[in-house]
Structure 1
Amino acid sequence: MSGSTWIASECTRSLRRKTSHPSQDDSGDDEDGTASPADKSELHDTIKKLSLKLDDLSTCNELVAKHGVALQRSLSELDGLRIPCESGEKLKAVNERATLFRITSNAMINACRDFLELAETHSRKWQRALQYEQEQRVHLEETIEQLAKQHNSLERAFRSAPGRAANPTKSFSEGSLLTTKGEDSEEDEDTEYFDAMEDSTSFITVITEPKEDRKAESGTTGSVEWTSDNVLDSTSLVPQGPPKVKRRVRIPDKPSYSLNLWSIMKNCIGRELSKIPMPVNFNEPLSMLQRLTEDLEYHHLLDKAVHCTSSVEQMCLVAAFSVSSYSTTVHRIAKPFNPMLGETFELDRLDDMGLRSLCEQVSHHPPSAAHYVFSKHGWSLWQEITISSKFRGKYLSIMPLGAIHLEFQASGNHYVWRKSTSTVHNIIVGKLWIDQTGDVEIVNHKTKDRCQLKFLPYSYFSKEVARKVTGVVSDSQGKAHYVLSGSWDEQMECAKIVQSSPSSPSLDGKQKTVYQTLPAKLMWKKYPLPDNAENMYYFSELALTLNEHEEGVAPTDSRLRPDQRLMEKGHWDEANTEKQRLEEKQRVNRRRRLETCSRGCGAEEAEKEAEVYVPLWFEKRLDPVTGETACVYKGGYWEAKEKQDWHMCPNIF
């Protein structure tokens, strides 16, 4: 009996191990669909282990049958012995139980035998099918990569075709948001690579001629007219006149350095990108503070918005400005420099741009930058952006956290919004490309007007225009006034809504709102890139000037950062050496703060307090609008610059 019990327990353990291994092996495919050589080796090892467990099961089958027969024979021998009556009754009961065990064991043995025969029959077939699927997968990946290259070539050829934008209104209605009656504007969700954003406003718009609309809407003509100041007219949105100060229009060409990104990134999956030491080979010669300042390139949209008498019209221009900040990212796949703690960047352009901007790196882990902009045209902007990034193997996600505030002094309109998620694709194979996805809500906290923007994810097989953005501007009562559409790398247009009605439900039960609009007007269009931009990191005209040397800036200014300057000049080896020196200097400064803190607080609090850094030009305050704590400009920088008194600045370079 003891021997049979041991065999049964061994069989149970074997079967449990047998069933547990496949689930463990299948659990690692959620993030990375590419079968690496390590994955294939592991797969073959798993098949080998399963084959061994199958042999163990066969052995257990034979042992159960053997010991079952021996048990029955032993009981029969006991039954033939002369024993007392009382013992005979107990022996009879044991014999009956043994008979039930034999019947059950026989059933299990027959089932095991059938399983063994079936497994042996189909094992080779499964292996051949698995090999075929692996080959098909590799072939499909190669095909998709070729299709992507052909798609990019066709897209470039289409954009460079003469006469493409001869009729902007027609091009807009056919390729973007506005559709004529009868056109199918349903999204092909089955072929999307990303999950659809169900919470976003889904709608269809129909263009209406102004005259027809006035006839149909008699008595309400004033409500459908464009405003008389033409503040949304594209002709009034282009800055006039050359700049007063001549600035540089080129930087040294990017050197040709061959370096495998995957060889460095493969060991960093799941880690915070800011904590990974990266060579300058993957950077562009600008810091994150300068990239944040670059969002002001289309500041003239806000200058025009100052003159809007209607808050919903002003919202349209604010929305176009928020979208325009992504236009520089379409070709900019290189990583900006992580600023040193205490690093600053100023943009003093009152003469030509009419604004002053100041950024300061207020935290290192997590990396966080505070930004404040003052415009002499009557608006101010401030934000604290914390960059959270994760490398997922096939792609890199960059999530900017923090609210952006924009206030117009004359009207008191206070707008708040947050940035969308940026994703860098094809980290492993293919050409790197970046996409912007997610929903962005802009709220005017004075009037309660809202704008819902939707950044549609890009798909190779979608019929939608690449990098498409749609949106609806509504008042405090929820009534829609404008429809916005365009792409975050090209242009944005708005169309005034004259009538709205629900459409009939689609096959999947979803219902869209049909907006009848006037013809769309162009609000924003991207500036063309400078000549030779492909050899200058695809910098825009403004980006080329951001790292230009200027006199009188603070000693912590990004323009004075030595490794960034060396990289811009093309001395990448020296830049990498200098970058390591600066990072080590920053670590030494952190250890000094740790030692200073440990003298005044307990050992448990020392590590926490060591990360507490007091910014020089910004201070932590509770934001009454969002309820969050954020760094706000406290003043003093421009006064210190005028006096050239920088004694309070830390030595970080």
Structure 2
Amino acid sequence: VGNDLMRILHVAAFAVSGYASTEGRQCKPFNPLLGETYEADYPDKGLRFFSEKVSHHPSVVACHCEGRGWKFWADSNLKGTFWGRSIQLDPIGVLTLQFEDGETFQWSKVTTSIYNIIIGKIYCDHYGTMRIKGSGNYSCKLKFKEQSIMDQTPHQVHGFVQDNRTGEKVAMLVGKWDEAMYYVLGDPTMKPKGYDPMTDALLLWERDKYATKTRYNLTPFAISLNELTPGLREKLPPTDSRLRPDQRYLENGEYELANAEK
């Protein structure tokens, strides 16, 4: 398999994997202040990240990230619609991933809805079509299936990679956004009747199932993002999220102080 085909398969898995951490996390996040920033630097991973809230109305957050051989940048804005018992969030913005050889991929996020906000068990779902446009030989189309009331297998994602030169389908993707993604080379629809593509499926990405549930269903990595390690405070600008007193009070369980600060 050519590196360029495997590249877009991994880009597709990356685009899906970002939704995995939303499972079980329905609480409203902190609304960043205008000009609030966050930066992270992991020299051992060759990774640097920076984000800033650049507009308050509408609320827009922009980010830039660099790794070994690639750059990623995006802007994020949400259009919210209240339906009585649910909230629909339609993302506005483009995510761009560029590799050092110049190949670029762009896509937008799918719709997110939060259900049973008045009564019942709250849950969220992601649905719609995600198109990953590649500047090179391949592009990808992913369909996030909307969960129905009687659905026994929710969170399904399926799609295909298409050759930009011929329009031919060269790989199929299937999985669940909160579990794993698999791929099958070729076009399974051209196989004989009764063929099960999962017999040839190969794993692309699998969610790291952390054993211990934390208070807000955050992963150990997500929890570490708010940590002020020794010497870090002196290096951060005053606009950094980790210096917000209300956020720090909440993490420490001092809810009255957090509300007063807010």
Q: Same fold (TM over 0.5)?
A: yes
Q: Do the aligned partners of residues 516 and 397 (structure 1) sit closer, same or farther apart at CA in structure 2, a change above 3 Å counting?
A: closer
Counterpart Cα distance in 2 of 1:557 and 1:378? 27
Cα pair 1:320 1:523 within 8 Å, conserved: yes
Q: For the residues of structure 2 that align with 1:422 and 1:348, how far apart are their CA atoms?
A: 30
In structure 1, which of residues 321, 324, 327 is the aligned counterpart of residue 17 of structure 2? 324
In the other structure, the counterpart of 2:7 is 314
Q: What code does the residue aligned with 1:527 have? A: D
Identity of aligned residues (%): 36
Which of 74, 77, 102 matches 1:412?
Answer: 102
Partner of 1:548: 227
* AA at the equivalent of 2:24: H
| Mapping for residues 348-367 of structure 1, pairs under 5 Å | 348-351=41-44, 353-367=45-59
CA deviations on 1:314-345 (whole Å, 9 max, x unpaired) are 11100000000000001110111110000000
Rounded to whole Å, the distance in 2 between the matches of 1:434 and 1:516 is 29
Q: Partners of 2:223 and 2:108 in 1: how far apart? A: 26
CA distance 1:532–1:515, shift in 2 (3 Å):
closer
Q: Does the aligned pair in 2 maintain the 1:530–1:540 contact within 8 Å? A: no
Question: Structure 1, residues 410-434: CA drift from partner, whole Å, max 9, x if none?
Answer: x321000000111100011101100
2:181 corresponding residue in structure 1 = 492
Runs of 4+ in 1 over 6 A off after TM superposition: 514-518
Alignment match of 1:381 (pick from 62, 72, 82): 72
Equivalent position of 2:94 in the other structure: 403
> What CA deviation, in whole Å up to 9, does each residue of 1:74-96 have, x standing for no partner?
xxxxxxxxxxxxxxxxxxxxxxx
1:459 Cα deviation after fit: 1.5
Is residue 455 of structure 1 aligned with residue 144 of structure 2? yes
Matched residue, 1:392: 83
Which residue in 1 is equivalent to 2:202? 521
Instruction: Say whether 1:371 aligns with 2:84.
Output: no
Residues in 2 aligned to 1:369 and 1:362: alpha-carbon distance in whole angstroms: 6
> Contact 2:85/2:117 (CA < 8 Å) preserved in 1?
yes
User: Residue 489 and residue 442 in structure 1: after superposition, are their counterparts in 2 closer, same or farther (change >3 A)?
Assistant: same
Superposed CA offset, 1:264-308 (max 9, x none): xxxxxxxxxxxxxxxxxxxxxxxxxxxxxxxxxxxxxxxxxxxxx
Q: CA, structure 1 residues 532+310, in 2 after alignment: closer, same or farther (shift >3 Å)?
A: closer
| Count of residue pairs brought into register by the alignment | 256
User: Which residue of 2 is the match for residue 421 of structure 1?
Assistant: 111
CA distance in 1: counterparts of 2:84 and 2:187, whole angstroms: 48
Displacement of 1:460? 2.6
Work out whether 1:475 is the aligned partner of 2:194: no
- Quick one: distance in 2 between partners of 1:357 and 1:554? 14
Distance 1:379 1:427, change over 3 A: same
The alpha-carbon distance between structure 1 residues 561 and 530, as it changes in their structure 2 partners (threshold 3 A), is farther
Query: Is residue 174–residue 183 contact of structure 2 (8 Å, CA) maintained in 1?
Result: yes
State which of 423, 445, 469 in structure 1 corresponds to 2:135: 445
Match of 1:142 in 2: none
* 1:557 pairs with one of 226, 232, 240: 240
Paired letter, 1:469: V
Report the CA distance shift for 1:482/1:502 in structure 2 as closer, same or farther (over 3 A).
closer
Q: 1:388 Cα deviation (Å)? A: 2.1
Gaps of 5+ in 2: none
Report the aligned-residue RMSD: 2.0
**Residue 626 of structure 1: aligned partner:** none
SS at match of 1:311: helix
Asked if structure 1 preserves the Cα contact closer than 8 Å seen for 2:85 and 2:116, the reply is yes
Deviation at 1:528, TM superposition (A): 1.4
Cα shift at 1:371: 0.3
Counterpart code for 1:395: S
The letter of the residue matching 1:333 is Q
Measure, in 1, the Cα distance between the counterparts of 2:58 and 2:187: 47
In 1: Cα distance, 2:29 partner to 2:197 partner: 44
Distance in structure 1 (CA, Å) of the matches to 2:220 and 2:188: 41
Query: Shift of residue 391 of structure 1?
Result: 2.3
Q: Does 1:337 align with 2:30?
A: yes
State the 1:446 CA deviation.
3.2
Structure 1 CA distance, aligned partners of 2:141 and 2:185?
15
AA aligned to 1:394 is R
Match of 1:434 among 97, 100, 124: 124
TM-score by length of 2: 0.92
Shift of 1:576: 1.3
Q: Is the 8 A contact 2:12 2:132 kept in 1?
A: yes
Shift of 1:387: 2.2
- For 1:147-185, what per-residue CA distance to the aligned partner results, in whole angstroms no more than 9, with x for missing partners? xxxxxxxxxxxxxxxxxxxxxxxxxxxxxxxxxxxxxxx
Equivalent residue in structure 2 for 1:576, among 243, 259, 262: 259
In terms of fraction of residues, the more strand-rich structure is 2
Structure 2 CA distance for aligned equivalents of residues 390 and 460 of structure 1: 21
Equivalence map 1:244-283=2 (5 Å)? none
**Alpha-carbon contact 2:169-2:187 (below 8 Å) kept:** no
1:499 offset after TM fit, Å? 5.9
Report how far residue 529 of structure 1 moved.
Answer: 2.2
Aligned partners of 2:192 and 2:139: how far apart in 1? 23
